[in-house]
A = this chain, B = another copy of it.
Amino acid sequence: MSGKLAVIGTGPGNPDQTTPEAAAAIAAASVFFGYGPYLDRLSLRPDQRRVASDNREELARAREALATAAGGEHVCVVSGGDPGVFAMAAAICEAIEAGPPAWRALDLSIVPGVTAMLAVAARAGAPLGHDFCAISLSDNLKPWPLIEARLRAVAGAGLVIALYNPISKARPWQLGTAFAILREVLPWNTPVIFGRAAGRPDEAIAVASLAEADAGRADMATCVIIGSPETRLIERPGLAPLVYSPRSAGSVS
């Protein structure tokens, strides 16, 4: 029972954005569980074993990782970004709560990382410079009407919105519907940032107004940030514009 379980985040994907703490956790582990593309980012040694699974099998993966750690192995569960933001740390906790008592006694560590919205925001300026929220647009695990209600509530309250899991083959219409809802609440010139693969070689950052925001620009690797009514855009000759949310906010709407 000397097993250990580390749940780590690699950051957005550029090794320069992986913390030394996460790198040390990777070096110390013997078995790795995660979504295949995330495991592909690691440079594992021949003595380190990888167990890849699909990205919709989080709970089964969590159970297998916990059982392996309880068996005495040094296990690393790998998320992209931060493991606590729409990623494996919650699945591990769910599995612990429903699992055998021995899993509660495991040596568990959760290692934070740079989550996608922070990497995208840094490329665009400072869109998260004031109050903001992160909402998953996936209705696999929550009903769509709840997502709609949350979008209306946070946009109406003046928060910047970062959308995770904006679109997939199985969820093609949700992002377009989200934009339509937000057009009912927010000014149409509100800046929208499509941040794809921030920090990686295939990075693509695009800015559009809410009026012109096209859901077709997003894919599974995209984090979409929608400004608040206070969010501003600074044009820069020969450079991409800066999008930022001022530190001060006005009156109660």
User: Which residues in A have some Cβ–Cβ distance to B below 8 Å?
Assistant: 11, 14-21, 24, 58, 82-87, 89-94, 96-97, 104-105, 108, 110-115, 118-119, 121-123, 125-136, 141-143, 145-146, 149-150, 153-154, 156-159, 232, 234-239, 242, 244-252
- Bound-state Cα–Cα, A133 to B250, Å: 19
Q: Compute how far the CA of A153 lies from the CA of B132 in the bound complex, rounded to whole angstroms.
A: 13
Q: Is the CB of B133 within 8 A of A131?
A: yes
Q: Flag if A244 contacts B154 (CB, 8 Å).
A: no
**Chain B hits for A87, CB < 8 A:** 129
A58, B93: Cβ atoms closer than 8 Å? no
Contact of A252 with B104 in the complex, beta carbons under 8 Å: no
- Given the known A-B contacts A118-B84, A247-B141, are A126 and B110 also in contact in the complex, defined by CB atoms under 8 Å? yes
Contact A93 B133 (CB under 8 A): no
Q: Which of B19, B110, B118 contacts A125 (CB 8 A)?
A: B110
Chain B contacts of A17 at CB under 8 A? 19-21, 112
A153 contacts across to B, CB distance below 8 A: 153-154, 156-157
Q: Give the Cβ gap from A80 to chain B, nearest Cβ, in Å.
A: 14
Q: Which residues of chain B have C-beta atoms less than 8 A from A114's C-beta? A: 19, 82, 112-114
A253 to chain B, nearest CB (A): 8
The residues of B that contact A126 with a CB separation of less than 8 Å are 83-84, 89-90, 92-93, 110
Write 22 A-B pairs (CB below 8 A) sorted by A numbering. A17-B112, A19-B114, A82-B114, A82-B118, A84-B122, A86-B129, A92-B126, A94-B244, A97-B234, A104-B234, A110-B122, A110-B126, A114-B114, A131-B133, A131-B136, A131-B150, A142-B249, A149-B252, A150-B159, A153-B154, A154-B154, A154-B157
Contacts A94-B247, A96-B234, A123-B110 given; does A85 touch B133 at CB 8 Å? no
